[in-house]
Structure 1
């Protein structure tokens, strides 16, 4: 079926992991509001994630391509929900096999796209765009600080002086503030590359494709990361960098963002309504992280000892070693009945953070969670575990809206210290942190309002796409 020609036709290609797909779908919504003609590429098992977007924008056309049959990944993991932690390497390599089918679709389309906007884990699409003679724009669901470090790693390829020392510090002296991290906090993909992993060699070229792409779109806002945005422009050697966040779902979609249970949302809201303002701690570690049972035990004990009301959403341990991960300790629910609500699986995070009863968020510092908490004006208690989460936690420290409670995917928290930090976070002594969170929320919301920096940047990006020509 021919696509109606309202505005410039672009191809959107999300990476099928929830933390990546959700913000790019939010961006797609904003682009559709600005009259662009959009095709969005998904594999069959991910098509249903587009339903809210397609209902709102019937003109958006899905391009459904079969998952590559040669992909060497376990059966049943080719969709957002089933992608295992650490599985993105295999997924990225598998999706690169869609190069041929996309070229075939493009060559047979009566009015093919003039540009590609694709996730940063799909750096191979820069070569695809070159073959199609159109520009490719990187979409980063991560912030500018973490992206600066990622680009720096893959450009400069730093190595340890002592390959046996996981605490050896890697310094990024060209980046504002000269951030530094021990080796164990560096990207696991990069560490695998340094250790000689053959698949990582292929992914290195894919990630370097991001640096060679025509432009960059970042889900952040200038009041939060201006210094790092300036650095990225200098690093890339051009100013085709658009900061357009925080990307937020439409108001009517907040309850269902990342899930679909309106009855659960109602139950949670009703439970939160009984508590006074800024008195509840929300605990969630995203869609990928799983804790060992010992970590779960100590976390539960810390929450119990804190005496603070809490809402704890934890990942279903299905698919992990049976009985070893994400199990709530026996008797815990009974002991905290009344002041603790425990939700297994998805919870309506945007709705929860926006509720007046929530005063702090114990988080793994995934970028979506960080932006959602900032937008809601909620201070964070941080437990970064991997990927870009350490950099995100540092950024929150810098703005004094985050307090480190633990770090590392294998670290077992001290329950007494955790209880102290949680209780302190909800006390009258935290006026500075709460005030800073409120100020940053105001800046985030103003950035996406008409005339705000991100709003203007998004309009500028659309204007740029509308003028896109081959060989840009």
Structure 2
């Protein structure tokens, strides 16, 4: 198949946000390792973040290239240099950012019209429905990539189809999602922003996403069949075709192991500090805390988190995201002498942290997370149980999967999502230090329940690795997808 598919050229069009770009780059390497030529559409500043990774891939004889399109910051009303969601100075710029991403349609069409030979397939982000028109214009087969679980996809579909959420009398009233393999309940306050808004603009956006998916050849999903088999089967009845090809990060690890290029070069200060700290602690004793790159958590809430970590008496690594490093928090940490007070028992990292390396270390025993899907899959792939603290988007859906279906997590007790557009105004503390302490103690307990949770996490880790190995479900699905595109292009 590899020799045949050498002639294939896949064009990948991601949404310009780190949580979307990372799996797209991993997917590019997966396709390239199966003999496909891959072009990823990026903007200049986003390309800079991944140049080293692609250079590494090229050194392994993988055929990956970037096609750069200028990002229309000024035209969309964005500050200069805001080419990624995590570069926005405030969540209030998000609608303008979506508008800027939509403006990439015309320059992409202009580039395609100049090519002597068109790509054999377009893999587009679900957040870019205009790629449907591009594919139709140039008569190129197109599939949609979902960076979320089939559990979330099926829940969302069934909620929207039944409109059950529109019949509840308040934001805090529980309702059961119909036609699921398990009894899953939500409140309206826990739904993604688009689902609980009554605005015509949101409804139109959801309709566009759904129409874009239905007009595609099928969907690629960053999950694996063994993780959520009943929900994969359920969504297969909704979509034209579903190929589960994840966890993409594990494919990546195996690919570079196979090609002999698993080195990462120099270790930076954060990695060195984390490694020393993890080595100095016992197996499964450290709590890792990280809320992703798009969180905007008030200082008042982060103070409670800090005090809860301290009160738990467990060693911890706490990553404070770029958006959360406020003047108020910095002042409090200094006045409280928090770092010195917890010296030897806690590490605070501001900005980026080597998450996969931390999660895969034997000393890491738990992950306190916002339940973003990339982070969830990384924890699953490392066999680390989780404390769930969802914030927005589909994160409450992921919490239900982690805690209720997979049974590898403990809820911290958040009942209400935060609106990222209003976060700066919202100084409410949703989680008290006692809640943090209690959740950590429950996750790390040595009783029967804790042991069962850890064993379950290890079993799922094993299933994840089997899925991406030669002949595994995700490996086979990827090959079947490439073969199907080959047959269409022939």
- In structure 1, the residue matched to 2:216 is 213
Q: How does 1:428-443 map to 2 (within 5 A)?
A: 428-429=446-447, 430-443=450-463
Structure 1 residue 203: Cα displacement: 5.5
- In structure 2, the residue matched to 1:462 is 482
Do residues 368 (structure 1) and 371 (structure 2) align?
A: no
Q: Counterparts of 2:191 and 2:155 in 1: how far apart (Å)?
A: 9
Structure 1 residue 467: Cα displacement: 2.5
Find the residue that maps to 1:134 and give its secondary structure.
coil
Find the residue that maps to 1:391 and give its secondary structure.
helix
Q: Counterparts of 1:390 and 1:333 in 2: how far apart (Å)?
A: 31
Once the two structures are superposed, what CA deviation does each residue of 1:349-396 show, in whole Å capped at 9, x if it has no partner?
000000010001111111111111111111101111111111111111
Are the aligned partners of 1:93 and 1:203 in contact in 2 as well (CA < 8 Å)? no
Structure 1 residue 273: Cα displacement: 0.2
- In structure 2, the residue matched to 1:177 is 182
Are the aligned partners of 2:408 and 2:456 in contact in 1 as well (CA < 8 Å)? yes
TM-score, structure 1 normalization: 0.89
CA separation of 1:386/1:424 partners in 2, compared to 1, >3 Å: closer, same or farther? same
- In structure 2, the residue matched to 1:283 is 289
Q: Counterparts of 1:90 and 1:186 in 2: how far apart (Å)?
A: 23
- In structure 2, the residue matched to 1:378 is 384
Once the two structures are superposed, what CA deviation does each residue of 1:258-286 show, in whole Å capped at 9, x if it has no partner?
xx963321221111100010011111111
Find the residue that maps to 1:277 and give its secondary structure.
coil
- In structure 1, the residue matched to 2:339 is 333
Q: How does 1:411-430 map to 2 (within 5 A)?
A: 411-429=429-447, 430=450
Structure 1 residue 256: Cα displacement: 6.6
Aligned with 1:66 (options 57, 61, 70): 70
Q: Counterparts of 1:402 and 1:220 in 2: how far apart (Å)?
A: 18
Q: Counterparts of 2:53 and 2:486 in 1: how far apart (Å)?
A: 21
Q: How does 1:53-92 map to 2 (within 5 A)?
A: 53-58=53-58, 59-68=63-72, 70-79=75-84, 81-83=86-88, 85=91, 88-92=94-98
Q: How does 1:2-13 map to 2 (within 5 A)?
A: 6-13=6-13
Structure 2's unaligned 5+ residue stretches are 419-427
Q: How does 1:154-193 map to 2 (within 5 A)?
A: 160-161=166-167, 165-192=170-197
Once the two structures are superposed, what CA deviation does each residue of 1:103-159 show, in whole Å capped at 9, x if it has no partner?
221121011112110112112212221122112111111111112233445556566
TM-score, structure 2 normalization: 0.86
Q: How does 1:204-353 map to 2 (within 5 A)?
A: 204-236=207-239, 238=240, 240-248=241-249, 249-250=252-253, 262-317=268-323, 323=328, 328=333, 330-353=336-359
CA separation of 1:74/1:170 partners in 2, compared to 1, >3 Å: closer, same or farther? farther
More helix by share: 2
CA separation of 1:176/1:162 partners in 2, compared to 1, >3 Å: closer, same or farther? closer
Equivalenced residue count is 458
Aligned with 2:127 (options 116, 121, 126): 121
Structure 1 residue 87: Cα displacement: 5.0
Are the aligned partners of 2:389 and 2:412 in contact in 1 as well (CA < 8 Å)? yes
Q: Counterparts of 1:254 and 1:380 in 2: how far apart (Å)?
A: 27
- In structure 1, the residue matched to 2:412 is 405
After TM superposition, the structure 1 stretch with the greater mean CA deviation from structure 2, 417-426 or 147-156, is: 147-156
Q: How does 1:90-101 map to 2 (within 5 A)?
A: 90-101=96-107
CA separation of 1:87/1:446 partners in 2, compared to 1, >3 Å: closer, same or farther? farther
Aligned with 2:139 (options 124, 133, 140): 133
Are the aligned partners of 1:294 and 1:412 in contact in 2 as well (CA < 8 Å)? no
Are the aligned partners of 2:300 and 2:429 in contact in 1 as well (CA < 8 Å)? no
Q: Counterparts of 1:254 and 1:23 in 2: how far apart (Å)?
A: 18
